[in-house]
Amino acid sequence: MKIGMVGLGIMGKPMSKNLLKAGYDLVIYDINQEAVQEVAKLGALVGANSKDVAQKSDVIITMLPNSPHVKAAVLGENGVLEGMRPDAILVDMSSIAPLASIEICKSVESKGCFMLDAPVSGGEPKAIEGTLSIMVGGRPDIFEKVKDILSVMGKSVVLCGDIGAGNTTKLANQVIVALNIAALSEALLLGKKAGVDPNVIFEAIRSGLAGSTVMEAKTPLMIDGNFKPGFRIELHIKDLANALETGHEVGAHMPLTSQVMEMMQWLKSNGKGSEDHSAVVRYYEELANETVRSDNP
């Protein structure tokens, strides 16, 4: 089975490398030629555009920033849809609005093809490890056809429901992650202002009820002041915007999400949008005139 990959960013590039390591034939495309050449050196074929990738593939994976990018890559000129062969499967692994997934799927199915939405969680480290959590929406029979492919990239691969359910589940995930990061930031600043070392707080509570994957991944970054992006604030803003929009559409009230969104928007407006989302702690540091970093005097 030949796989196409459109999108070789922070996530798509390591995911492509894992597919190649697993022995799959891979055709790739991205506007970033440096990323294309890096993956091509490992054995991938290079497509001229998204249409060309689709023409040469049985399964086409898209991994792009947001709904407009996916629509352009799939539905636009020289897009995936123009090149899809009958019975081909599009697996959109981008994190986009659920209604956008449903809209794209209708166009794909009108051509006699199939689609799954399959956003991921875990950031760049787990993309490199091949241990992402993958949340899938779509037909069960189509899911079964690509489950082995997805399992190369993810440790957890779960069918969540019909098309759009994958992205709805991802939005729920992103809300929980954002609120966890904000709570962690608030708690560590409380401790630091009260004279307790954040390292000690982390060690004391990490094995209790407050412990979480977010705590394990983000506390060391906050304490070290290391905000090299694993998942950028500007991307989390995109996800929270989609979550709030979806909440408005279905009548789900999201006051905590709205508040964390404002924190992230403040950080973006102050030049921190490209930093890791653990940099939410900077918002609290600014308010407290203090840092959680262990090198703070």
What digits encode the pLDDT tens for the residues 63-78? 999 999 999 999 999 9
A 10 A CB-CB count for 223 gives: 22
Of the candidates 101, 117, 12, 111, which has an alpha carbon nearest to the alpha carbon of residue 54? 111
pLDDT value of residue 104? 98
Q: Is the pLDDT of residue 97 over 70?
A: yes
pLDDT value of residue 123? 85
Q: CA-CA distance, 234 to 274, in Å (whole number)?
A: 6
Question: How many Cα atoms sit within 13 Å of 127 on the Cβ side?
Answer: 19
pLDDT value of residue 295? 54
Q: Under a CB-based contact definition with an 8 Å cutoff, are residues 41 and 175 in contact?
A: no
Burial 80-101 (b: 16+ CB within 10 A, else e): bbbbbeeebbbbbbbbbbbbbb
* pLDDT tens sequence across 227-257: 998 889 999 999 999 999 999 999 999 999 9
- High-pLDDT (> 70) share of the chain, %: 99
What's the token pair of residue 142? 């189509």
Catalytic: which of 13, 126, 170, 192?
170
Please count the residues of the chain. Answer: 297
Q: Where in the chain is the domain with CATH 3.40.50.720?
A: 2-161
Identify residue 133 by its one-letter amino acid code.
Answer: S
Q: Is 106 one of the annotated active-site residues of the chain? A: no
Of the candidates 152, 169, 151, which has an alpha carbon nearest to the alpha carbon of residue 160? 169
pLDDT value of residue 231? 87
Computed over every residue of the chain, the mean pLDDT equals 96
Q: Where in the chain is the domain with CATH 1.10.1040.10?
A: 168-288
Which residue's entry shows tokens 């034939």? 25
What fold characterizes domain 2-161?
A: Rossmann fold (3.40.50)
What's the token pair of residue 103? 């809209």
Q: Is the pLDDT of residue 297 over 50?
A: no
pLDDT value of residue 294? 67
Q: Residue range 47-57: average pLDDT?
A: 98
Q: CA-CA distance, 252 to 159, in Å (whole number)?
A: 23
The single-letter DSSP state of residue 62 is E
CATH architecture of 168-288: Orthogonal Bundle (1.10)
- Judge if pTM exceeds 0.85: yes
pLDDT value of residue 296? 44
* pLDDT tens sequence across 146-155: 999 999 999 9
Q: CA-CA distance, 283 to 287, in Å (whole number)?
A: 7
Q: Residue range 264-283: average pLDDT?
A: 97
* Contacts of range 279-285, beta carbons closer than 8 Å, 24 or more positions apart: 279/227, 279/233, 280/178, 280/181, 280/182, 280/185, 280/233, 281/181, 281/184, 281/185, 281/188, 281/189, 281/222, 282/227, 283/185, 284/185, 284/186, 284/189, 285/189
- High-pLDDT (> 90) share of the chain, %: 94
